[in-house]
Structure 1
Amino acid sequence: MPRTRPRRSLAGTLALATLLALAACGTPDDEPVATAGDRPGSTVINTSPEQNRVRGTKVDAVAAKVPAAIAADGKLSVGISAGQTPPLFFRADDDRTLIGVEPDIAQLVADVLGLELDLRPTSWDNIFLAVRSGQNEVGFSNITVTEERKDLYDFATYRVDSLGWEVRVDGGIDRIEKPADIAGLNVSVGSGTNQEEVLLRWDEQNRAAGLAPVKITYYQNSADYQLALLSGRIDAFFGPNPSVAYHAAVSGRTKVVGIVPGGGEVPAQIAAMTQKGNGFVEALDAALDAVIQDGTYARVLARWGLGGEAIPAAEINPPGLPRS
């Protein structure tokens, strides 16, 4: 696509909104502190292990919905990604404590159910295997509802799924809204993700229209793609909007130039995932509704700058992304 001089546009508005949302979360004792960073436009978030998480309260009527086999040990075993993807899930400064919006939501649900939270960091693939086998009772890891996944798992939703395009502030790209905007670019994306499916679909549309193909570059972790982006080895990164917005906010050297639904043109939702037919999804749904209604859910999203991804009520097994 033609390159133009950077100008204040949608990206500037999004970055500013993210910074303000994060900074506004630093007042109450149970919110992380956000301050100005060492680069213009950057901010610093509390990443210490002393998070003072927002906590929920046990609701007996909801706790009674938990199947006896799950409630027996008094714990909620949660599969969650071991990757470093702030603000979704990442290690605190002690390099041990898992923090982020996903652990925080899992904590609220465990509290409402009267269970002790047992976070079990693991690889992305193993989250699904462990939940399917019953080794872990639920997955909280920015998991998108898809029709294929619904064959094997039950879902209770808690957040809108949105994807973001991240570019360098000085990279000359101001807006990515449609497939033609990425023609000829070198783009990085996570392998095996729904954003990869969107990217491949957009590239296929470009090729069919006679536009330059996209070069797709894969990296094993977020630090690698961020270095490649800042050094100019890639033009853009396409990933979960929470993580790209966070990185843009704290670095001050990148910006978000487009946000699309989790399915590209198709809306999608993030959900808690449990074994199909084990009877647990009703309790998860009720617990999520309880924290939405009492306001603790909104406080958790706000403390990580994700208020824009809130939903008004949880839903069991909604329409998911279509089968590939």
Structure 2
Amino acid sequence: MPPTRRLATALAAATLALSLAACGEPEEEAAQDPGRSDRAAEVNTSPDQDRIRTDEVPDIAALVPAEIRERGTLEVVNSVGATPPLNFYATDDETVIGVETDIASLVADVLGLELRQSTVDWANIFVGLDSGRYDAGFSNITVTEERKDKYDFATYRLDNVAFEAPAGADWTVEGPEDVAGRRIGVGSGTNQEEILISWSEQNEAAGLEATDIAYYQTPTDYYLALSSGRLDAYLGPNPSAAYHSRVSGETEIIGTISGGGDEIQGEIAATTRKDNGLVEALAAALNEVIDNGTYAQVLDRWGLADEAVEESEINPPGLPRQDG
């Protein structure tokens, strides 16, 4: 289940607290907060987002199914988590902000529609799409072969996971051999855990040391372990790791890999009910904002430029079906 709204608010507030020191002159910052890293960056987590916008493109708007065009709104569903920069609550504990919301806003602009967002728990995203209550999901949804049975996808971000280490780390991760003998944290039951176990097994088969895998359930716990030297790195979703390293200055990304592991590059996509006629318009709108530069501005704003796609694809190969 997604984290609670209360936790989302607490973490957003913590993020704001990290960024407040960036409002003064450098000398003033050092005097007020001598422990604050020069690597930290300011990020706007207030409800006043001043989002990046773009213009309607009539030829693309014409691709929208008639029922939606006549209604005049793009009904988008999301699930709000506790960790920026995906969908999360602003400091007012009400306004949903983040990279997913900004990309959905750009798509609605191109289609000449008013963006209307609904926030539900993760499972109800798909229930709402199935019923036709919502037109599209923009909620960090990965393309999988199983999901393609019921949904259409228009891709807009790479699905990557990242190794996050204390700032100033003197090593990097490019492949399995780089984590041999290292103590790496991970969440139980995640794709990241599967990747790490597979890499450790490959290393042992090659005569290298196994990876010492440590399990953590909350960011508070694994960041404490990183800061105290009990972990060499933590393997988790790239967006949250990139955001944390950016606003705290206490950690850095030392390597990224596909969320699909060695088999396939995972991709995040706008998701619609299969064959409802909207996916072509979504893909065309996404390609428009990729071409006009506003997409890149949104990714830069949230520190996710390394997850950019060159073009939006409809129903590309997804993560393989699970056995059984």
TM-score (normalizing by structure 1):
0.78
Relative to 1, partners in 2 of residues 1:294 and 1:176: Cα closer, same or farther, differing over 3 Å? Answer: closer
| Residue 238 of structure 2 corresponds to residue 241 of structure 1 | yes
Shift of 1:129: 3.5
- The residue correspondences of 1:1-324 to structure 2 (distance < 5 A) are 38-169=36-167, 174-183=171-180, 185-190=182-187, 193-206=190-203, 208=205, 211-212=209-210, 214-219=212-217, 221-232=218-229, 234-265=231-262, 266-324=264-322
Q: Secondary structure at the match of 1:44?
A: coil
**Aligned AA (1:296):** T
Shift of 1:270: 1.8
8 Å Cα contact 1:90/1:99 also seen in 2: yes
Cα deviations by residue, 1:93-148 (Å, 9 ceiling, x for unpaired): 22222222111001011111222222223333333333234332211122222222
Higher mean alpha-carbon deviation, 234-243 vs 97-106, is at 234-243
Q: Work out the CA distance in 2 between the residues paired with 1:196 and 1:139.
A: 26
Higher mean alpha-carbon deviation, 121-130 vs 288-297, is at 121-130
Shift of 1:59: 2.0
Shift of 1:193: 4.6
8 Å Cα contact 1:169/1:253 also seen in 2: yes
Percent of aligned pairs with the same residue?
55
Q: Secondary structure at the match of 1:45?
A: coil
Q: Work out the CA distance in 2 between the residues paired with 1:178 and 1:244.
A: 19
**Aligned AA (1:39):** S
Q: Looking at both structures, which has the greater relative contact order when contacts are Cα pairs under 8 Å and sequence separation is at least 6? A: 1
Q: Work out the CA distance in 2 between the residues paired with 1:319 and 1:34.
A: 48
8 Å Cα contact 1:35/1:43 also seen in 2: no
8 Å Cα contact 2:186/2:213 also seen in 1: no
Shift of 1:308: 2.9
Higher mean alpha-carbon deviation, 59-68 vs 254-263, is at 59-68
TM-score (normalizing by structure 2):
0.78
Shift of 1:164: 0.9
8 Å Cα contact 1:289/1:314 also seen in 2: yes
Shift of 1:288: 0.7
Higher mean alpha-carbon deviation, 234-243 vs 294-303, is at 234-243
Shift of 1:209: 5.1
Q: Work out the CA distance in 2 between the residues paired with 1:188 and 1:135.
A: 39
Higher mean alpha-carbon deviation, 156-165 vs 73-82, is at 73-82
Relative to 1, partners in 2 of residues 1:46 and 1:173: Cα closer, same or farther, differing over 3 Å? Answer: same
**Aligned AA (1:245):** A
